[in-house]
Amino acid sequence: MHESFDVAVVGGGPAGLATAAFATRAGLATILFERSSSPPDKACGEGLMPAGLRVLDALGVTPRIGARDSHPILGIRYIQEDGSCAEGRLPGGGGCGIRRTALTAALAACAGETGADLRWNCAVNGFARSADSVTLATAASEVRARVLVAADGLHSRLRSLADLDRPNRARQRFGVRQHFRVEPWSDWVEVHLHEGFEAFVTPVGNERVGVAFLWEKDAAPGPPTIEKFLERSPALAERLAGAPVDSRPRGAGPFAHAVRARIADRTVLVGDAAGYVDAITGEGMSLSFLCAEALGAILPAALAHGATRAALEPYERLAAREFRRYALTCRSLLVLTRHARIRRRVVRFLGRRPRLFSRLIAAALA
C-alpha cells in the first residue's frame, strides 16, 4: 500500500528543508527525502543576504543558531592585488554568515516541528507522473504525492528526469571552500580579487571564518587546492598564518546550469536545481529561501487546481523574476573579473564613493 502525501520534497539541503517547512505551515502533508543520513555539508559561501535572513527569521530559524556558528555581516569589501579596495554596506540590518551544518540542522528541526516527515538515508531512485499524482520509488517503498518538489542541488538528477534541463554554453567555473579556526578580523565579507580567481572570506562564528576560492576553468594557479590559492593570495595567507583548519576542503562546480522551466505538471524545481549562474554574488541561499517561501504560499491553490503546469505558473513567474535579477548581477561581476584592467579602475572608482557602492548593492539585492 502506498503512503500518500500532498507534497514530496527531494533534497535535504537548505532549499528543500525550507520548502518542507513552508509547505507544512500551509497545512499540506509533506514528506522530505534525503539520501544522506543527516543534512549534508556542501561547498557553500555561507553568507545570507538581508532578504534570505528575513525568511529565516519568519521561519523561526535564527534563534536556534548561536554565536559559535554565526556572525553578523555589515557589508562587502572588494580588495585588489595592490591593496586598493571598495566597500559597501548591505541594506537594512545587514546579513549574516552562518555555518551551513548549523543552518541545515536548525532548518531540519524547524521543518520537523511543523510536521514534515523527514526521511534521512533514503534516496529517490525515480518517479512517475500520472494525472492525479506522482509516485516516487525509493529502496524502502513507493510514496505517492500530489506534487514533487526537486531540491536535489546543482547537478539535479530529477531536473534531468523531468526533462527541464537546457543546454548551457556559459564558461565553466568552479569553487573550493575550507574553514579556519580564527577570530574574524572583520564584520564584512571580504572578496580578494586576483587575475584568474577570487577569494571570499566570510565570518561564520565568533572563532571561525570560511574561505572560498572561485575560478574559471583552466585559469587556476596550478592545481586548484586551498594551499595553491593561498600562495597566490599573500595578504589572506598572512591573516590565516598559524590558524588551524576547521573543516576539510569541499569543492563544487561547474556552476552554471540552465533550465527550460522551473515547473511541469505536478513538478517544481527549487534552489540550485532551478538554475544557477555563479556563486560570485553570494545570493544562492537567499534566492532559494525566497522561492521556497513563495512556493509554500502558492501550493495550496495550485494543488486545488490539479498542480498542473498552468496551476503552478505563479511560482514560475516569481522565481523567473528573482532569477533574472540575480543573473544580471552575477554576469556583470563576471565580466569585471575577466577584464582585470577594467575591474581595477571600477574598484578604485567605487572605493572613493562608498555611498554610491552601497546604493548599487542595495539596488542589486532589491
* Structural domain includes residue 154: yes
| Full-model pTM | 0.95
Element (H, E) at 144: strand 142-150
Asked whether the bond before 244 is cis by omega within 30 degrees of 0, the reply is: no
* Structural domain includes residue 33: yes
Percentage of the chain exceeding pLDDT 70: 99
> How far is Cα 176 from Cα 10, in angstroms, rounded to an integer?
25
pLDDT in tens, 133-159: 999 999 888 999 999 999 999 999 999
Strand ordering across the sheet containing 197-203 = 85-89, 75-79, 188-194, 197-203, 209-216, 173-180, 250-252
pLDDT score at 121: 94
* Structural domain includes residue 354: no
* Residues in contact with 218: Cβ distance below 8 Å, sequence separation at least 6, in sequence order: none
* Structural domain includes residue 311: yes
Our CA angle for 2, 146, 265, nearest 5°, is: 130
* Structural domain includes residue 84: no
Structure confidence at residue 1 as a pLDDT band (50, 70, 90): low
User: Which range marks the domain in which residue 33 is found?
Assistant: 3-71+97-167+258-331
**Number of folded domains that form the chain:** 1
* Structural domain includes residue 122: yes
Helix 100-114 × helix 14-25 angle, to 10°: 20
Average pLDDT over residues 60-71: 94
Structure confidence at residue 215 as a pLDDT band (50, 70, 90): very high
**Which residue's C-alpha cell is 522551466?**
261
> How far is Cα 326 from Cα 305, in angstroms, rounded to an integer?
30
* Structural domain includes residue 111: yes
* Structural domain includes residue 282: yes
What is the CATH number for 116?
3.50.50.60
